[in-house]
């Protein structure tokens, strides 16, 4: 097998310095399943800005290059504060054993426009800085050393996505509201295939009373010059690791052609994906040739659930829910936009600790690690493409529409199987209330409905918060998303109530999601006073949103401060926007704890069991959120963990118990006991979600009664004599 040879050769050869050479076996006896080989290490980088390309760069590096690994974003290195064209190069050593096989370079993302050469030959281009692309390099890779060169242009334009924020032209700054992070910002790999490969799965589902019908459209490519009749196997593996459905079929594909056969799987008694409890099935497809040799294997996860909008409410698995969350930019001081999985998982786990159940992962297609984490946590997302603050002229430009359709299709192809995706968003804070805006929204909705039928379509609008009137483009959306900054940009904080009333009259048939609200730092004197205002604002605004049952969700801006060249404190032209519950270094502000407390879906109280003055146990009552509160959703898969500690720090008892499903307005009780002794006792009860985040809890302390007294015994002479 290829993989075994790779491991053996790597162990023998180690690293080859700046070449960071890729090594494969010199001979392969039989075809093997397609391999994907990491090419993140061993790159060089230099910044040309707007200087013309030197043809010599396709053959060798210029002087004074920088050695880097990808993901890489040049604003954090020698390209700080510079836009233009950055160049990357690396050497790839290929033995004759794989020459003639199907070879592809895979880029998870390059921001923004990429041109790729192999051995001086242009093998492909790609525009769009947040979606993956593949380039066939089978005919240009040769035995021995091969030079790969990538030119990356991060400059925005009138119809790039993201592009000029022409609505802000009067400010003198039409850059978008996050940092310009050019580079190869996500992973790079080499794919080796023989005979055929599986490009992707498109998984659809229909839930019934006691079963789920899952259909996977499996995109197969015959990469040979002769036809093949393949054996295609599909299995479903449940959240407990058991195979629960199986499908096999033969598929004939002509030479150098593709097919997308459907595999049908029926799953009995499915475990449902729920808010806060992401039960996941694995759908595994395997492609074999006529001799039974495995050519490729692909695994995707899916959550079995239903999503519906009716009566201006969101229903998950038939239950009405109201959800809250915070946004998060792909940005940190240590990685910029070139985030690694560790940073993503840290932030997503913190969002889970903040009880996030709905968010817009702003403002662009996200890495798969974000979707995977949201899937596991039972968190709904509204991903979008980065059309931000664009004018009617831009929205009406056919070049923009072509780019938008392409980017949306690439995002759906890559991320459409994730159960966390609630809807696709087609733009943010652009001129929707124009004929061009309406035409753009209609075209994008039709495009999405054709390639991802059944998924909701929407966009975020800020003008609706300034004037709540019926806008045709917003009526096209399946639900309305409003960026409503009452207290700052949208008007006085106390105007939120009248605005909600006006919205209700203008859109009596639409659910509203507050897609952004919060407190930007520059509206206060400094960061400390901004967070005081932020804390008060989030409490007051959440309370107002909560009184309107047709507000299905509210999303706070934002989780962390992010780098930008606008919305900074006065006198700054580059820095981190003071807008987060945590700062850029993920240090928690007081508003973090205020948000966490305000968004708990569960609470608890503890009553001690007493033997005289000695505690011997407790009964905990766990209470779901009030019916129709914001947030409110069934608590599924949670458990109660408790610990009782004596005054001498000795553990008197500890345990954990699974909780039943607790619906909004519902309760559950748990009792426990220990061997009592007269001592102060602290009982800590934590309600943990299916992912292990603390959903709520309580601490109950007990002190035995003790009263102070001086020593004053009676005088025996004053006591009556005991009669004999």
Convert the pLDDT of each residue in 101-110 to its tens digit. Answer: 999 999 999 9
Q: List phi, psi (to 5°) of 537.
A: -65, -45
Answer yes or no: is pLDDT of 516 > 60: yes
**Residue 501 and residue 384 in one domain:** yes
Enumerate residues 6+ apart whose C-beta is below 8 A from 291: none
Chosen domain end from 130, 158, 193: 193
Q: Is residue 185 part of a domain?
A: yes
Question: Are residue 438 and residue 542 in the same domain, yes or no?
Answer: yes
Using only C-alpha atoms, the chain has a radius of gyration, in whole angstroms, of: 30
Range of the domain at 497: 322-598
| 459 and 477 assigned to the same domain | yes
Q: Compute the distance between CA of residue 472 and CA of residue 432 in angstroms, rounded to an integer.
A: 9
Mutual angle of helices 398-415 and 368-377, in 10-degree steps: 50
Q: Are residues 201 and 188 in the same domain?
A: no
Does residue 584 share a domain with residue 481?
yes
How many Cβ atoms are within 10 Å of 88's Cβ, its own excluded?
A: 24
The per-residue pLDDT for 78 is 67
116, two tokens: 């790729």
The pLDDT tens digits of the residues spanning 52-67 come to 889 999 999 999 999 9
Judgement on whether residues 500 and 532 belong to the same structural domain of the protein = yes
Strand order in the sheet with 423-428: 323-326, 551-556, 512-517, 480-483, 456-461, 423-428
In a domain, 307, yes or no: no
Domain count, the chain: 4
Query: Could you give the count of Cα atoms lying within 13 Å of 336 in the half-sphere of its Cβ?
Result: 22
- Name the residue with higher pLDDT: 587 or 28: 587
Same domain, yes or no, for 495 and 544?
A: yes
Q: Are residues 93 and 170 in the same domain?
A: yes
In a domain, 368, yes or no: yes
Q: What is the CATH number of the domain that holds 80?
A: 2.60.120.260
Instruction: Provide the 10 A C-beta neighbour count for residue 306.
Output: 14
Q: How confident is the model at residue 625 (pLDDT cuts 50, 70, 90)?
A: very high
CA distance 474 to 442: 10
Q: Are residues 370 and 340 in the same domain?
A: yes
Domain boundary among 165, 193, 221: 193
The reply to whether 557 and 629 lie within a common domain is no
Residues above pLDDT 90, as percent of the chain? 85
Q: For residue 177, give the nearest of 329, 12, 16, 19 by alpha carbon.
A: 329
**pLDDT tens for each residue of 318-368:** 999 999 999 999 999 999 999 999 999 999 999 999 999 999 998 999 999
356-392 as b/e: b if 16+ CB within 10 A? bbbbbbbbbbbbbbbbbbbbbbbbbbbbbbbbbbbbb
pLDDT > 70? residue 600: yes
Neighbouring C-beta atoms of residue 525, cutoff 10 Å: 11
Q: CA-to-CA distance for 233 and 444, rounded, in angstroms? A: 35
Count of Cβ atoms closer than 10 Å to residue 699 Cβ: 10
What's the start-to-end Cα distance of the chain, in Å? 107
In the structure, what pLDDT confidence band is assigned to residue 707 with cuts at 50, 70 and 90? low
Higher pLDDT, 308 or 13: 308
379 with 412, same domain: the answer is yes
What are the backbone dihedrals phi and psi of residue 377, each rounded to the nearest 5 degrees, phi first? Answer: -80, -10
- Is 60 exceeded by the pLDDT of residue 21? no
What is the rounded CA–CA span in Å between residue 463 and residue 526? 28
Integer angstrom CA distances of residue 203 from 243, 272, 279: 17, 16, 16
Q: Could you tell me if 355 and 695 are in contact, meaning their C-beta atoms sit under 8 angstroms apart?
A: yes
- The separation between CA 548 and the C-alpha centre of its own chain, rounded to angstroms, equals 28
DSSP line for 346-408: HHHHHHHHTT--EE--TTSPPPHHHHHHHHHHT-EE--B---BS--HHHHT-HHHHHHHHHHH
Quote the pLDDT of residue 671: 97
**How long, in residues, is the chain?**
724
| Euclidean distance between CA atoms 207 and 188, whole angstroms | 37
Q: Is the pLDDT of residue 274 over 90?
A: yes
Largest CA distance in the chain: 126
pLDDT tens-place string over residues 152-184:
999 999 999 999 999 999 999 998 988 888 999
- Check residues 5 and 506 and name the one with the higher pLDDT: 506
Name residues whose C-beta falls within 8 Å of residue 134's C-beta, 6 or more positions apart in sequence: 104, 105, 106, 107, 191
Alpha-carbon distance values, 665 to 82, 596, 626 (Å): 55, 20, 5
| Position 6 pLDDT exceeds 60 | no
- Say if 113 falls within a structural domain: yes
> Tokens 């909780």 map to which residue?
659
Mean pLDDT score across all residues of the chain: 92
pLDDT 10s digits, 380-391: 999 999 999 999
Domain boundary among 162, 193, 224: 193
589 and 613 share one domain: no
- 215 within 8 A of 262, measured Cβ to Cβ: yes
- State the DSSP H helix or E strand holding residue 214, giving kind and residue range, or none if neither: strand 211-221
The answer to whether residue 10 scores a pLDDT higher than 90 is no
What CATH number is given to the structural domain containing 245? 2.60.40.10
What is the CATH classification number for the domain harbouring 434? Answer: 3.20.20.80
Comparing 66-70, 225-229, 566-570, the range with the smallest average pLDDT is 566-570
pLDDT of amino acid 592: 98
Domain membership of residue 300 (yes or no) is no
Q: Among the residues of 87-156, which ranges form H helices?
A: none
522-546: average pLDDT: 97
Pull the structure tokens for residue 31: 């075809």
**Mean pLDDT over residues 233-243, rounded?**
98
Whether residue 30 is predicted with pLDDT greater than 50 in this model: the reply is: no
Q: Mean per-residue pLDDT for 81-105?
A: 92
The whole-number pLDDT of residue 708 equals 75
Q: How far apart are CA 551 and CA 530, in angstroms?
A: 26
pLDDT band at 80 (very low <50, low <70, confident <90, very high): low
Task: Write down the pTM of the prediction.
Answer: 0.92
Whether residue 594 is predicted with pLDDT greater than 70 in this model: the reply is yes
12 pLDDT above the threshold of 50: no
Determine whether 66 is exposed, middle or buried from the number of CB atoms within 10 Å of its CB (0-12, 13-18, 19+).
Answer: middle
**Which stretch, 476-480, 572-576, 675-679, has highest mean pLDDT?**
476-480
Sequence-separated (6 or more) residues with CB below 8 Å from residue 232:
218, 220, 248, 249, 250, 251, 261, 263, 285, 286, 287, 288
For residue 24, the model assigns a pLDDT of 36
Closest CA to 24 of 100, 88, 135: 100
Q: Tell me, yes or no, whether 659 lies in a domain.
A: yes
**Token pair recorded at residue 547:** 């009184």
Summarised one tens digit per residue, pLDDT across range 387-406 is 999 999 999 999 999 999 99
- How many other C-beta atoms lie within 10 A of the C-beta of residue 513? 26
The residue-averaged pLDDT of 364-376 equals 97
- Tokens 């105007």: give the residue: 495
Share of the chain above pLDDT 70, in %: 95
């Amino acid at each position: 097998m290829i993989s075994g040879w790779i491991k053996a050769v790597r162990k023998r050869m180690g690293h080859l310095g700046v070449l960071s050479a890729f090594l494969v076996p010199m001979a392969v006896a039989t075809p093997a399943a397609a391999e994907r080989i990491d090419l993140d290490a061993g790159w060089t980088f230099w910044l040309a800005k707007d200087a013309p390309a030197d043809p010599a760069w396709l053959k060798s590096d210029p002087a004074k290059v920088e050695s880097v690994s990808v993901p890489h974003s040049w604003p954090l290195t020698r390209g700080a504060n510079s836009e233009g064209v950055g160049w990357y190069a690396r050497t790839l050593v290929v033995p004759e054993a794989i020459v003639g096989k199907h070879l592809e370079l895979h880029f998870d993302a390059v921001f923004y426009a990429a041109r790729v050469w192999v051995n001086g030959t242009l093998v492909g281009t790609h525009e769009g800085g947040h979606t993956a692309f593949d380039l066939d390099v089978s005919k240009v890779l040769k035995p021995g050393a091969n030079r790969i060169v990538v030119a990356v242009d991060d400059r925005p334009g009138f119809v790039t996505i993201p592009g000029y924020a022409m609505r802000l032209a009067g400010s003198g700054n039409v850059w978008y509201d996050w940092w310009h992070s050019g580079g190869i910002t996500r992973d790079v790999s080499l794919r080796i295939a023989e005979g055929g490969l599986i490009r992707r799965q498109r998984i659809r589902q229909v839930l019934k009373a006691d079963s789920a019908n899952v259909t996977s459209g499996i995109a197969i490519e015959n990469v040979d010059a002769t036809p093949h009749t393949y054996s295609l196997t599909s299995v479903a593996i449940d959240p407990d690791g058991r195979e629960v459905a199986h499908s096999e079929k033969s598929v004939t594909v002509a030479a150098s052609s593709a097919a997308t056969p459907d595999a049908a799987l029926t799953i009995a008694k499915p475990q449902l994906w729920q808010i806060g409890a992401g039960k996941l099935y694995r759908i595994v497809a395997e492609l074999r040739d006529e001799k039974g040799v495995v050519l490729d294997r692909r695994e995707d996860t899916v959550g079995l659930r239903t999503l519906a909008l009716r009566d201006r409410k969101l229903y998950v698995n038939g239950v009405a829910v109201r959800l809250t969350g915070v946004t998060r930019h792909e940005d940190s001081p240590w990685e910029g936009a070139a985030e690694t999985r560790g940073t993503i998982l840290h932030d997503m786990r913190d969002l889970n600790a903040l009880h996030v159940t709905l968010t817009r992962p702003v403002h662009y297609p996200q890495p798969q690690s974000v979707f995977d984490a949201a899937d596991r946590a039972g968190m709904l997302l509204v991903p979008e493409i980065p059309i931000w603050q664009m004018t009617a002229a831009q929205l009406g430009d056919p070049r923009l529409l072509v780019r938008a359709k392409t980017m949306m299709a690439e995002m759906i192809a890559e991320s459409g199987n994730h159960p966390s995706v609630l809807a696709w968003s087609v733009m943010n804070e652009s001129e929707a209330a124009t004929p061009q805006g309406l035409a753009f929204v209609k075209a994008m909705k039709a495009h999405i409905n054709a390639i991802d039928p059944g998924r909701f379509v929407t966009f975020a609008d800020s003008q609706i918060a300034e004037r709540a009137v019926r806008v045709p483009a917003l009526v096209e959306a399946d639900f309305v998303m409003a960026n409503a900054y009452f207290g700052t940009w949208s008007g006085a904080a106390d105007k939120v109530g009248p605005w909600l009333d006006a919205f209700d009259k203008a859109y009596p048939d639409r659910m509203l999601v507050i897609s952004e609200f919060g407190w930007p730092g520059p509206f206060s004197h400094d960061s400390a006073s901004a967070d005081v205002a932020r804390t008060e604002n989030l409490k007051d605004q959440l309370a107002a949103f909560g009184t309107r049952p047709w507000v299905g969700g509210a999303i706070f801006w934002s989780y962390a401060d992010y780098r930008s060249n606008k919305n900074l404190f006065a006198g700054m032209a580059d820095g981190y926007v003071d807008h987060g519950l945590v700062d850029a270094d993920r240090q928690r502000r007081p508003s973090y704890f205020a948000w966490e407390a305000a968004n708990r879906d569960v609470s608890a109280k503890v009553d001690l069991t007493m033997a005289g003055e000695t505690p011997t146990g407790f009964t905990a009552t766990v209470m779901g959120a009030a019916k129709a509160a914001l947030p409110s959703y069934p608590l599924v898969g949670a458990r109660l963990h408790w610990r009782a500690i004596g005054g001498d720090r000795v553990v008197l008892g500890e345990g954990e118990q699974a909780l039943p499903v607790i619906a909004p307005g519902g309760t559950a009780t748990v009792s426990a006991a220990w061997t009592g002794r007269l001592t102060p006792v602290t009982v800590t009860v934590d309600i943990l979600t299916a992912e292990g985040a603390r959903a709520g809890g309580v601490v109950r302390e007990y002190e035995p009664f003790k009263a102070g007294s001086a020593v004053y015994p009676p005088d025996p002479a004053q006591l009556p004599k005991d009669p004999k």
